């Protein structure tokens, strides 16, 4: 059984409209299905506004799903409430995008970690202190940092504290929501390598959300590409990046810098912006921007189908 199974998950937000107008919704996540194995890193990529962060937040129940299931070892997280949900949170945690906004400026590192440990563990005061030191050392900090406050740290150090807090209850899965996008390029590699090291030591599974395909390819075993609330391509990381089948994936890959000066990659510039999730276009949601769109693309929405001859590789495209 997979560690995590997501089935037809939807997160819709109602939009204010006039008295006599039909009810409208922002379809941030619109029928997403996938599974994750223990110890796996699954990358999720797409442009800003495609629904990546909302999907991650819905999985950890920071957003309420409008439909579908989120099964963690067969238990539907979408249906849990109160104490049952609080108990389940030991098994899944989140690392947030903004290392500045994710920490309470009035709480020291010790207080922030102790809050988590006192709620979710039975450790006494000395045991919690020892666990805090262990967590900080795991992320490259030390005991001397426990009594400091967030403003006394750099952005990279704050993200390390956020990672330590997520690891405090020994979760089985961590949703990492663009954990390096707010950091300097020199620090990004350190955090990515830290996450890889932590996974090797603890066996935790990561849902790694980012808009940078180069980072995701480095981190992930498998990759999912998201567009306008739906998964348009998924498969093994090396396969998706070397043999993309969806025109949107091709466009994302064309923006990745190439180190070898002899390797030439034609940049694919997509016209326009991502359509409004309140009124997605008919047919394939990507067809208004797709350079290969045919008549069929404007009429029928493609479903995610296996790619012939490529195990584990799926694409939602009429032309693939």
Between 39 and 264, the more confident residue is: 39
Interval 139-162: pLDDT, tens: 999 999 999 999 999 989 999 999
Q: What is the DSSP string of 234-284?
A: EEEHHHHHHS--SHHHHHHHHTS--S-TT------PPPS-PPPTTSPPSSS
pTM: 0.91
Report helix angle 109-120 to 155-167, nearest 10. 10
Question: What's the rounded mean pLDDT across residues 17-29?
Answer: 82
pLDDT at residue 109 in the model: 95
At residue 43, φ and ψ (nearest 5 deg) are -85, 145
pLDDT at 22 over 70: yes
Question: What's the rounded mean pLDDT across residues 77-89?
Answer: 88
Tokens describing residue 111:
């207080």
Q: Give the closest residue to 173 by CA, choosing from 258, 90, 50.
A: 90
CATH code of domain 4-315:
3.40.50.300
Contact 165, 138 (CB under 8 A): no
Which residue(s) pair with 234 in the sheet? 224, 314
* Domain assignments of the chain as residue spans, ordered by start: 4-315
Task: HSE, CB side, 13 Å, CA atoms: give it for residue 85.
Answer: 13
Interval 44-74: pLDDT, tens: 999 888 999 999 999 999 999 999 999 999 8
Alpha helices in the chain (DSSP H): 52-59, 82-88, 109-120, 125-138, 155-167, 185-202, 213-219, 237-242, 247-254, 295-299
Rounded (to 5) percent helix, strand, coil in the chain: 35, 20, 45
User: Does residue 228 come out as left (phi exceeding 0), alpha (psi in the -120 to 50 range) or beta?
Assistant: left
Mean pLDDT score of the chain, rounded to an integer?
A: 90
pLDDT at residue 262 in the model: 62
In the chain, pLDDT over 70 holds for what percent of residues? Answer: 98
Question: What's the rounded mean pLDDT across residues 128-133?
Answer: 94
With 0-12 / 13-18 / 19 or more C-beta atoms within 10 angstroms meaning exposed / middle / buried, residue 41 is buried
pLDDT at 264 over 70: no
At residue 216, φ and ψ (nearest 5 deg) are -65, -40
Edge-first strand listing for the sheet containing 24-36: 24-36, 4-15, 67-72, 75-76
Between 212 and 190, the more confident residue is: 190
Interval 305-320: pLDDT, tens: 999 888 899 999 998 7
Comparing 89-103, 155-169, 178-192, 255-269, which segment has the lowest mean pLDDT?
A: 255-269
pLDDT at residue 23 in the model: 81
């Amino acid at each position: 059984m997979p560690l995590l199974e997501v089935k037809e998950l939807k997160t819709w937000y109602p939009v204010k409209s006039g008295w006599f107008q039909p009810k409208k919704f922002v379809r941030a996540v619109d029928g997403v299905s996938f599974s994750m194995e223990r110890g796996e890193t699954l990358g999720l990529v797409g442009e800003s506004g495609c629904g990546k962060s909302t999907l991650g937040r819905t999985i950890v129940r920071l957003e309420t799903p409008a439909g579908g299931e989120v099964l963690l070892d067969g238990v539907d997280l979408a249906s849990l409430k109160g104490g049952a949900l609080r108990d389940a949170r030991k098994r899944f945690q989140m690392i947030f995008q903004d290392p500045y906004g994710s920490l309470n400026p009035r709480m020291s590192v010790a207080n922030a970690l102790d809050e988590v440990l006192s709620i979710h563990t039975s450790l006494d005061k000395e045991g919690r202190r020892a666990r805090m030191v262990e967590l900080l050392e795991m992320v490259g900090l030390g005991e001397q940092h426990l009594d400091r406050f967030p403003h006394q740290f750099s952005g990279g150090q704050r993200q390390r504290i956020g990672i330590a807090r997520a690891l405090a209850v020994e979760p089985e899965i961590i949703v990492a929501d663009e954990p390096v996008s707010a950091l300097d390029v020199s620090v990004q590699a350190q955090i990515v390598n830290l996450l890889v090291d932590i996974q090797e030591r603890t066996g935790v599974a990561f849902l790694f959300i980012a808009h940078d395909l180069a980072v995701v390819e480095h981190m992930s075993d498998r990759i999912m590409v998201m567009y306008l609330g739906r998964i348009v391509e998924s498969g093994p990381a090396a396969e998706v990046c070397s043999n993309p089948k969806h025109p949107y994936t091709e466009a994302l890959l064309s923006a990745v810098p190439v180190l070898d000066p002899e390797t030439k990659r034609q940049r694919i510039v997509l016209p326009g912006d991502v359509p409004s999730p309140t009124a997605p276009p008919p047919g394939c949601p990507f067809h208004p921007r797709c350079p290969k769109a045919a008549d069929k693309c404007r009429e029928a929405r493609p479903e995610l189908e296996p790619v012939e001859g490529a195990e584990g590789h799926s694409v939602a495209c009429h032309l693939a």
